[in-house]
Structure 1
């Protein structure tokens, strides 16, 4: 894999801090994500991964520090502004309408990125112009054969794939995945790893992930957090055997292998 230092950085954070009533959940974090990388954020429970993820996507405003996407300062922007700037967040289990089909979800998402915006009185004629691109995205995530099934009837893994397609519809510069394999059985995990491996081509991905086997299969770079700070950063092969990482995971077998 390429050395990320030799390639341009696309997402950076400097001295990022988030306090909640005096408690520092994120405490002076620096983060460098190289263009085209899969960059994993890992760490034991309470390490600050989710809070850092919320900061990067605008769901929390930092108490201190800066966040930049390329040459644009995103510090303090809200989720919608961050998304429009080029960071899309996927795999949030709140975003699907049970009665709408995957095709309809994608048509609406594609429409929302145009001057039409979100129009829930949409007409079939207005959405028809987005049908071709919707099917391309569904094919990319393996859902073309389920394009017209109500989302509520999809299996769990396919719902997560649909959420990924919705994020890709925004044509993001950086795609953030929040626990993409959480709650999945082995078969769905393997399918999701293969899916992320396909869609990462030509894209930058940042993911929070507990399953270190998934991290090992996908990540170019790994940042390990502990108590709100960066414990160690490097390639997966280096990080997994670092005594500090093994200690942080309290001997967790998955962390050491």
Structure 2
């Protein structure tokens, strides 16, 4: 993809490294994510994917190296600071309120960046100013017809869709998806692929996933990690036919079909 390769990256890491008591979980990783693309981070178990993802989202501080977003150094910033810059992370550990309706979740998420805070729990009228946008987001992820339902009543795949809507409430330039199809059956996986394609329009997406069907269906660029280092990078077809990648995945039961 020549045009993407020459474009200034929206997200970039430079020699990013994370050590835990002398063990290098991520080692000298230099990554460039072109704006407007979907970029996958993959690799066998223990490759450093989760650690790298946590570095990108501020849940871990790097031992050395840099993270740049839109050309600005964001190394070491906290997750909430990163969110305010236009980076949203979804599909982490579920943090929904089972008894709260879907639309109430979205209204609260939309109110949060305005500085209104939790005092507006007491004022439904003031939260209602976000109702139209909340409904638009629910429609975008296919949950508009369930707006009044309690989140606890949703099926697993629908809960993940709600989490995605909550991330989109931040109107992010960069959307980070952590294992978006983990634990899903085939039907939910295909539905999630279609949903991610839809919400990726006009945004940049970075995701981690073990499911190679998902990676092949979504990713413009795939970065393969092994032992904390970049092993290979390219299109899905390029990396799946790379002998180094094939060798790295041998014996990985969950990832055998690269």
Contact 1:241 1:256 (8 Å CA) reproduced: no
For 2:150 and 2:6, how far apart are their aligned partners in 1? 45
Which residue does the alignment assign to 1:14? Answer: 14
Q: CA deviation at 1:121?
A: 2.9
| Runs (5+) with no aligned partner, structure 2 | none
- In structure 2, the residue matched to 1:70 is 70
Report the CA distance between 1:72 and its aligned residue: 1.7
Structure showing the higher helix proportion among its residues:
2
Residue 92 of structure 1, CA deviation: 1.3
Q: What residue in structure 1 maps to residue 139 of structure 2?
A: 139
Corresponding position of 2:127: 127
What TM-score, normalized to structure 2? 0.96
Q: TM-score of the superposition, structure 1-length normalised?
A: 0.96
In the alignment, structure 1 segments of 5+ residues that lack a partner are none
Runs of 4+ in 1 over 4 A off after TM superposition: 251-257
| Deviation, structure 1 residue 93 | 2.5
> SS at 2:62's partner residue?
coil
Aligned to 1:250: 250
3-state SS of 2:175 partner: strand
Which whole-Å CA distance do the structure 2 matches of 1:108 and 1:173 have between them? 21
Q: For 1:104-139, what per-residue CA distance to the aligned partner results, in whole angstroms no more than 9, with x for missing partners?
A: 000000000113134363411011100000000000
Q: Distance in 2 between matches of 1:63 and 1:113?
A: 30
The question of 1:82 aligning with 2:82 is answered: yes
In 1, the alpha carbon distance for the partners of 2:57 and 2:105 equals 22
Task: Determine if the alignment matches structure 1 residue 38 to structure 2 residue 38.
Answer: yes
Distance 2:89 2:95 in 1: 11
Alignment of 1:1-257 (within 5 A): 3-119=3-119, 121-250=121-250, 255-257=256-258
Q: 1:211 to 1:149 in 2, by over 3 A?
A: same
In 2, the alpha carbon distance for the partners of 1:121 and 1:172 equals: 25
- Greater shift in the superposed pair: 55-64 or 107-116: 107-116
Quote the Cα distance in structure 2 between the aligned partners of 1:4 and 1:256.
27
- Separation in 1, partners of 2:239, 2:256: 9
Please give the root-mean-square deviation of Cα atoms over the aligned residues, in Å. Answer: 1.4
DSSP 3-state at the match of 2:59: coil
Q: Does the 8 Å CA contact 2:120/2:127 hold for their aligned counterparts?
A: no
